[in-house]
Chain A
Amino acid sequence: MNEELYQEVLLQHSRRPKNLSPLPGATHRAEGVNALCGDEITIELTREGDTLRAVHFQGSGCAICTASASILTCETTGLRAPEARALAEDFRRLAVSGEAAPAVADRPRLAALGTVHRYPQRVKCATLAWETLLAALDHPV
């Protein structure tokens, strides 16, 4: 089995995802669909002023998709909205091209996900949650 793609940290997040539940009192929400496979992810978050107090996800996807969503909730909780947006953009670049901006290079879990750029058929799996986060930031409930 491919252990470069399926690194232990990702397997842990896919088997026991963090923040996989509805978020009562969410202020923002978006649903994302991977048109290639039909996987659906919902991201909900609570914003206080500019800060993301809580970020949750729902839905089921492959190991990469689930791990990415779980890691996203961990990495973005407590960030200010513009920081979360910038991180999502940085992660998208990492997943597509392998180019690691400082913000993602400093986060080992994101760097682990970044190996996905060597497997073009799996890039969408990794970016779905982050695209959905960007949509959620623009969609107050």
Chain B
Amino acid sequence: MSSELLPDLERIRADFPFLEVEIAGQPVAYLDNGASTQKPRAVIARMAEVAAHEYANVHRGIHLLSQRASELYEAARVRAAAFFGAARPEDVVFTRGTTEALNIVAGAWGEAHVQAGDTILLTELEHHANLVPWLELARRKGARVEYVPILPNGAGLDPEAARRLLAARPRVFAFAHVSNTLGVTNPVAEWCALAREIGVTTVVDGAQSAGHLPVDVTALGCDFFACSAHKFAGPSGIGLLIGRAEALAATPPWLYGGDMVERVTYTGATYRDAPGRFEAGTPAIIEAAGLHAALDYLDTLDLPRIAAHADALAEQAAAGLRVIPGVRVFGPEGRRAGLVTFHVEDVHAHDIAFACDERGVAVRAGHHCAQPLMRKLGAPSSCRMSFYLYNTGDEVIRGLAAVQAALAFFRRA
């Protein structure tokens, strides 16, 4: 297992100033990467440089600074298109993040294309961001929502049920690439190929896969793909909606204002094509440069090796947790997408996470923004350790020791 860890880990860790932070008198062990990731110096420095010397608004004015800002903003789009395998840079829309991207699809595309009686197919493991916008759309339209069911213990989604529900031709099939709660990786390419054959629009929530494992949206064959820069060593406040050109062209604007229009009169307006059509107002310019720098940084490493590293740490954590009495580990056997979620029958997740925090170990406790899933698994609240490229086996050991200490404390008579 340890052979799968990144050999140049010390050098990688030196790139992340956050790891110098001390919590409770100890170096932080940041095991909450499923929620958000830390940023390397290259990202921080690039954003500071843009703010200091290269900043102006984009797509406005003749002056040189505006031209330069537009160039760096569009260069980030070109970079993201190449990194994620988009057919053209124009197919990449900057958003505030995955949540906004999914709201554009459900709110604008869905508003135009989903009708009363249509079925919206989701899965039982969706994050609230890929669930609530669809529930609202269904309510507005009188559409039905169906779910691909989860297998016992959250081991994965039921593949037979997925094929059967998809074959029934829902209007749209929206699902996570990787579950933020269970570490399940869904067969995106297979489902998108089936969907394409029968005219079902596909929407992939890539918040947990982008920048963690290789993603090529063209190879995956989805209509829409959404992700957030802060989940892959980039800044918060910016994300991507990547769409097939036809899918974006079939999506009406959703936010109106400057920059997204062609021609405006006192009686109406005409709108630009994608991506400008979806980027009303001043965008996150400094963050776009940060996103660009994050993708450059990840390219100096190797995504399959990053994925193997996080998987090895998650498996080390899962193995350590499974032998503790009363601990239930959710998710698939084997590869678990760099995270492990667990429930302790007699000690609440909050108390465990608090005990971890006292030892400088940051873990997530709660419902992981997947309340229906956790209720179905019988654990309304659970703990999660989630790993990224800078985490170490020692940090896993510290996390396990903190869990053991918490259980010993709360279980003493």
Contact = CB atoms under 8 A, between A and B. Distances in A.
A36 B366 contact: yes
- Give the interface size bracket for A toward B: 20 to 34
A125 interface: yes
Given A63-B351, A125-B350, A39 B381 contact: yes
B241 to A, nearest CB: 27
The secondary-structure label for the interface of chain B is helix
B348 A61 contact: yes
B409 A62 contact: no
B354 interface: yes
Interface string A50-85: 000000000011111110000000000000000000
A66 B367 CA distance: 18
Which residue of A39, A64, A65 has the most chain B CB atoms within 10 A of its CB atom?
A: A39
A37 B354 contact: no
A37 B381 contact: yes
Contacts of A39: 350, 380-381
Interface string A25-50: 00000000000111110000000000
Interface in A5-34: 5-6, 11
A38 B380 contact: yes
B380 A40 contact: yes
A60 B380 CA distance: 9
Given A38-B366, A38-B367, A39-B380, A2 B354 contact: yes
Nearest to B348: A62
Interface of A: 1-2, 5-6, 11, 36-40, 60-66, 119, 121-122, 125
12 contacts: A1-B355, A2-B358, A37-B365, A38-B366, A38-B367, A38-B374, A38-B381, A40-B380, A61-B350, A63-B351, A64-B350, A65-B350
